Chains A and B, each alone.
Chain A
């Protein structure tokens, strides 16, 4: 599903250049649930942003579902993001003036889905994350866990190939975190490919594979026995 070869990325900080990713080789098969771990500054978020086409690599190749991702202009990047990817952010990033239902329906709007169908689909995804009763509520009327579940529903709405989650539990307490991870595991059980960036070992343990990043290089890549979040709830 994801194929990365010799990926480099550096940022210019004034006159200095900061080499963040120093040759990443990495691939993810369909249906995997991978966590990317590393201390802060290890380059894990940068890797996720490049995977999410929110940022571009300096060197190396990136293939997503058989499509080479390179030399993208904004328009094509936007189209690919809409088609291939669903994002889950640490700070949820819901649009504050839209209610839960409309937030979930937004990716469908950019897919050109008509309004009636959009609302139906969005509602079914809200049901899936257990928030059908909260459809008419604005984000600031929801708890952190609820917000993240709306965000997950939104990420799923466009039926993407890959879900990218950047510290999805970073702003949540442990019980809510496990709830969210449980949801992510359930989605993965349905066969969707998911990448989770985290620095919490217990969250990482709930995935099927842990990739450890340090100073811009992969130092460890192991399959693990998945801990079901359900057990911790």
Chain B
């Protein structure tokens, strides 16, 4: 390997056989290039999808109601189910040890919000202080709705970043200013941001007690949102959340006299369940990319072996000459292998570097929703290069060995 004379001999052979070298190198380099780019895109999709999940707390459960579809205990189907404060209070009390964050939501329809001359239509909701964590919101300025606001029916609101930009433009500090919602004055106490982006930031929150009182909601609530105490692992968390959502469903069906097999009246959006589906999808995508990648590598190896076979065939006469001049069989095997390993390794690294450059410089420019920051684990890429080089060497060994065993007289015979 460190025989300088051998290296000189190899370099000379390579220099004098550029096309052959180029073709061998091309199949290796393109194989590595395709594999690394595929793995990068796979990783990008993974990143993109997990970003989609940051919108809400990852384990949030969202309870909402609809219309009954089945006749039950003399009640007609088509009844709209309305959840009340009691439903929420009962649940939080019963499961207080299991719940991490909890909030009921009262939604104010046609929430026109005015400030001076500016106005806009936003989602206006009455919530509990915990809702900040359920929504995964962060505060830019001021504070979120707190327990005291709730107790005292304070007319305060927290607005999303987009609402602030719309109503207050950029100039004014919105904290302490008053906005009108359906003609009622509310004091702005905070501005929040949400990883879900603009759509999630064009919302306005106020204490649910205030919302119910001011907008005539009596003790109606639209939704309930919960997160459970964290579990050690995903499987356990999923099982716990499924158990909990089943229990809530049954409890609500009982309270509101809904048929036990009526699936349309009470719905629970369990984000863990969704997450599981996404993770399964991710695993499938990953599996797929690896499959494609491995097939690419196999194709590359087959390509290299083919070229090696042709090279050895083409060099049979040369090998005969070398043997007549005193080349030992091992030196012939060494020569062929040395050249093939050197060429595949260099080409492999060129493919690797090219693909990494592509991912590095073009990757961040990709602005699709489901692909973000495609990148690849460098070790994985490096390993594939070594696998390909090794495979090329093994594939090259047998033709080289066969060539070394050909009797010089046979190799030299005129065709």
A positions within 8 Å CB-CB of B: 49, 52, 54-55, 74-75, 78-79, 81-83, 87, 89-91, 93-98, 102, 106-107, 109-112, 114-115, 154, 158
Contacts and interface: CB of A to CB of B under 8 A. Distances in A.
A193 B322 CA distance: 22
Contact of A75 (B16, B329, B408, B414): B329
A129 B11 CA distance: 28
Given A54-B412, A91-B414, A74 B317 contact: no
Contacts of B318: 95-96
Contacts of A107: 325-326
Contact of B328 (A74, A93, A102): A74
Interface residues of B, number: 28
Given A79-B326, A115-B8, 9 more contacts: A54-B324, A54-B412, A74-B328, A82-B326, A87-B325, A93-B324, A95-B321, A96-B318, A110-B327
A73 B328 CA distance: 10
Given A54-B409, A54-B412, A98-B16, A93 B321 contact: yes
A81 B408 CA distance: 11
Of the candidates B16, B318, B320, B408, the one having the most CB atoms from chain A within 10 angstroms of its own CB is B408
Of the candidates A90, A109, A158, the one having the most CB atoms from chain B within 10 angstroms of its own CB is A109
Of the candidates A54, A79, A94, the one having the most CB atoms from chain B within 10 angstroms of its own CB is A54
Contacts of A55: 407, 409
Contacts of B322: 95, 106, 110
Interface string B103-139: 0000000000000000000000000000000000000
20 contacts: A49-B409, A54-B324, A54-B409, A54-B412, A55-B409, A74-B404, A74-B405, A75-B328, A78-B323, A78-B326, A81-B326, A87-B325, A90-B414, A93-B321, A93-B324, A94-B321, A110-B331, A111-B326, A112-B5, A154-B325
Contact of B16 (A79, A97, A154): A97
A86 B12 CA distance: 24
B166 interface: no
A115 B324 contact: no
Contacts of A112: 5
Tell me the dominant secondary structure on chain B's binding face.
Answer: helix
Contacts, number: 71
Interface of B: 5, 8-9, 12-13, 16-17, 317-318, 320-331, 404-405, 407-409, 412, 414
B394 to A, nearest CB: 22
Contact of B329 (A78, A89, A154): A78
Nearest to A74: B329
B407 A158 contact: no
Contact of B325 (A49, A90, A106): A106
Contacts of A89: 412
A228 to B, nearest CB: 30
A78 B407 CA distance: 11
A54 B5 contact: no
Contacts of A109: 5, 9
Of the candidates B13, B17, B321, B330, the one having the most CB atoms from chain A within 10 angstroms of its own CB is B321
A55 B318 CA distance: 18
A75 B330 CA distance: 8
